[in-house]
Structure 1
Amino acid sequence: MVLKVKKFIGLILVVCVLCTGTAYADNYGIIDSTVDANATMTRAEMAKIVVTLLGLKDGADESKGSTTFNDVNVEHSLSGYIHIANQLKVVEGNGDGTFTPNEAVTFDQAVKMIVCALGYKPKAESMGGYPNGYVTVAMQEGVTRGITAKTNEPIKIKDIHKMVDKALTTPVMVQTGFGSVVEYQVFDGENGVAFSTLETRCLNPSSFYVTYKSNNIILTDKDLKSATAVASNTDDLYSLEFTLTEEGKEKLAKATEEILKAPEGENYVKVISGEIIAKPKVVAKLDSGKFVVQGQFSKSKADAIVKAISNYENE
């Protein structure tokens, strides 16, 4: 078998703004922010987090019951999550028919679960497997950035929180080819590649996004009323004006304070419709209830985006 990572071209419109993101695990109820951040978490609780990340919480509640592990009985409160995580090969037990659900999850174990949820298991296995291959992939994707936990030791909830926040916005990898040559697509939004993360794919699916550079979502298509192409004064370039709902205005106004903190030369946006079609500098502003991207588009590109937004609104 040949492991081949392949780019994917699809249709999605994303506006990415360089800026710092905030903790997002709390927003989706993935981690209880009221618990002791310095405490540890069980393997069963970590399985619940990963299944929730994948948008399968309802399915887990319905799957409560017996599992393939002889130490996870019908009465275990998280048996449904463990069952689904096992079915998805996110967890595979200890090799002796047990899962030890109540043991503290270690750094290596938590990393493996998250890397598997992101779809990077084949890459991790090709780089040595558990634990080093998974730790390496997590480092490459920035999932463990800022984590102080040590390998093979129980990991604190505060570090799991950091990893989950990063995992939410990390581009996913999906198998698309089968047979002797297996192909995988990384949906990173770059160079003609569609954009997809656990947040956009599993927890907040939409056709349009305004995000920070970190990929944290600011706006979705639910926050838009319309898009308009406006002719500029020079070079036959067009601006785009996105008219926002009242809720959209409030969301963007809150984000604007952070956006304006970006250093000169780094405050830019990416406009993506299947692929990146513009990288204008210091061009995004909130003006009379409209999110404006100034003078960076050809007529055909601007019209294509307006048409796409119109189609989203009519769905």
Structure 2
Amino acid sequence: MSAKTNLATLLIAATAITSNSAALANDLTDNIINDLYNFKIIADKSDIRPNNNITRAEAVKMICIAEGNDVFDNDTTDTQIFYDVPTSHWAAKYIEIAVDDSIISGYEDNTFKPEQYVTYQELHRMIVSSLGYNLYAEQAGGYPKGYITYSNALEISKNMSLDNSAFATRGDAMQMIYNSLDAPIMEVRENVEIDGTVETVVMIYDGKSNPFISFRKILSGEVEY
């Protein structure tokens, strides 16, 4: 039922990826805010503050919930991953999930800087990684170029004019995360045995060779993933 792609033939043109995203403007519409609220990606429709900057911890929380995780505000964890994220930090559980899902990796000094504002290029990387396209993005030039390329291809920043090195606003971050809800998910399966050989298999759930699966379908309960 599912198509299998050998790692050796993986690399595809980023422009060949399409999503089912609707055309969206830079401003947050009521529909966008309502969807983000109903999916628990934001907690309060009256506290959007679209022109304020967003921290790395806040961005990670939204992205983790967008990919189908529960709300874990103030949940503690057993393991401290970064020096500056104690197990009691309000976002510790989201940060732990983001590391496990290869959405973030932190800095070389083993810090995450959760209260630092996130840049647009960091957001591109986090969101593209949450969708599973790390491998393609790395092959397309890595951070930040490859991730921006795939962010554009997946229409995460559709109709948005961004200074990728600047700090992201909350409104733009919400728009980008909203756009990601309708992008096709990609999955990399390692150590898959095919005809007696062990290979890495790439699955793109774009409705072509595989069923269409998106964060929206997962969050709405249409599919289990």
Q: Which has the larger radius of gyration?
A: 1
Check if 1:89 corresponds to 2:128: no
Instruction: Considering Cα pairs closer than 8 Å and 6+ residues apart, tell me whether 1 or 2 has the greater RCO.
Output: 2
Between Structure 1 and Structure 2, the one with more strand by share is: 1
1:187-218 superposed Cα distances (whole Å, 9 cap, x missing partner): 1113x5311001213x12226xxxxxxxxxxx
Query: CA-atom RMSD, angstroms?
Result: 2.6
Identity %: 26
8 Å contact from structure 2 (residues 55, 117) kept in 1? yes
Partner of 2:124: 111
The counterpart of 1:48, out of the listed 61, 84, 93, is 61
Which letter maps to 1:198?
A: F
Which letter maps to 2:39?
A: Y
In structure 2, do the counterparts of structure 1 residues 19 and 73 end up closer, same or farther at CA, with 3 Å as the change threshold? closer
Superposition TM-score, scaled by structure 1 size: 0.56
Which letter maps to 1:4?
A: L
The counterpart of 1:197, out of the listed 169, 194, 214, is 214
Q: How does 1:144-223 map to 2 (within 5 A)?
A: 144-176=157-189, 178=191, 181-190=199-208, 192-201=209-218, 203-206=219-222
Unaligned runs of 5+ in 2: 1-6, 13-19, 25-30, 193-197
Partner of 1:27: 38
* Distance (whole Å) between structure 1 residues aligned to residue 103 and residue 61 of structure 2: 11
Q: How many Å apart are 1:141 and its aligned residue?
A: 1.0
8 Å contact from structure 2 (residues 120, 167) kept in 1? yes
* Distance (whole Å) between structure 2 residues aligned to residue 134 and residue 111 of structure 1: 6
Q: How many Å apart are 1:4 and its aligned residue?
A: 2.1
> How many residue pairs end up in the alignment?
195
Which letter maps to 1:28?
A: F
Superposition TM-score, scaled by structure 2 size: 0.77
* Distance (whole Å) between structure 1 residues aligned to residue 115 and residue 179 of structure 2: 25
Partner of 1:69: 82
* Distance (whole Å) between structure 1 residues aligned to residue 88 and residue 190 of structure 2: 40
